């Protein structure tokens, strides 16, 4: 694409680096900001700069935070004996927004992936074991993606925790609520039959 100004072009190129943003959307964003007051654009860039430069990570669970401990770990109202293990902050936010989990989290910062050269040492697994070592945890819920990396990571952590007297569970998988059987992929459908549950054990 040809642009009439280098300033516009630079801004478009920067926007187009964002995930899922093409040159056309980038142009739309740039022309939108061009029409806004300079103060509003300042607010936009300041919010991004502050987010990047001032953000902290919770020293307990690695969640993003405004201070040393995130508000989930800091507030005492959550169940302290249950830790939900997630790959990243996006997954944490997704679970948090269901408003159906009242325990703590542990963000791994990735999944074990030999192909990408990511081993257990590059993830926050050791700090998870340390938290369990403190003796207050009774259940670890693995909430990782249902793929090879997720399964490998779950398996690795489960092995590490085998000697502790705690429950290690995993989020349930199967046909989505509201999902129609005929449109569910074969793998999910097959597993949902294999891993069927007694009717009276289900929470709706």
Q: Does 145 bind its own copies (CB under 8 A)?
A: no
Q: Does 66 bind its own copies (CB under 8 A)?
A: yes
Distance CA 160, CA 126 (A): 9
Among 6, 77, 172, 200, binds its own copies (CB under 8 A): 6
Distance CA 183, CA 180 (A): 6
Among 72, 112, 123, 143, binds its own copies (CB under 8 A): 72
The HSE-up count of residue 145 (CA atoms within 13 Å, CB side) is: 13
Smallest distance from its own copies to CB 200, Å: 32
Distance CA 26, CA 77 (A): 43
Decide if 110 contacts 88 (C-beta within 8 A). yes
Q: Does 83 bind its own copies (CB under 8 A)?
A: no
Residue 106 forms beta bridges with which residues?
A: 85
**What is the DSSP-derived secondary structure letter of residue 28?**
H
Smallest distance from its own copies to CB 203, Å: 22
Q: Site mask, its own copies, residues 24-63, x = CB under 8 A?
A: -x-xxxxxxxx-x-x--xxxxx-xxxxxxxxx-------x
Nearer to its own copies, 52 or 196 (CB): 52
Element (H, E) at 54: helix 38-54
Residues in contact with its own copies by CB under 8 A are: 1-8, 10-11, 13-14, 17-21, 25, 27-34, 36, 38, 41-45, 47-55, 63-66, 70-72, 88-90, 92-93, 96-97, 99
């Amino acid at each position: 694409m040809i642009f009439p100004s280098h300033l516009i072009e630079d801004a478009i190129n920067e926007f187009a680096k964002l995930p899922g943003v093409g040159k056309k959307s980038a142009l739309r964003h740039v022309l939108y900001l061009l029409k806004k007051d300079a103060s509003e654009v300042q607010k936009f860039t300041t919010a991004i700069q502050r987010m990047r430069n001032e953000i902290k990570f919770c020293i307990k669970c690695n969640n993003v935070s405004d201070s040393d401990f995130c508000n989930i770990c800091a507030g005492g109202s959550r169940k302290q004996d249950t830790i939900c293990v997630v790959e990243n902050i996006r997954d944490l936010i997704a679970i948090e927004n269901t408003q159906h989990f009242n325990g703590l989290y542990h963000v791994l910062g990735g999944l074990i992936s030999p192909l990408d050269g990511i081993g257990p040492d590059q993830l926050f697994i050791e700090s998870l074991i340390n938290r369990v070592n403190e003796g207050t945890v009774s259940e670890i819920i693995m909430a990782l993606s249902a793929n090879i990396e997720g399964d490998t990571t779950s398996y690795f952590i489960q092995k590490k925790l085998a000697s502790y007297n705690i429950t290690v569970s995993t989020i349930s998988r199967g046909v989505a609520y509201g999902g129609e059987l005929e449109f569910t992929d074969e793998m999910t459908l097959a597993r949902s039959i294999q891993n069927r549950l007694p009717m009276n054990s289900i929470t709706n």
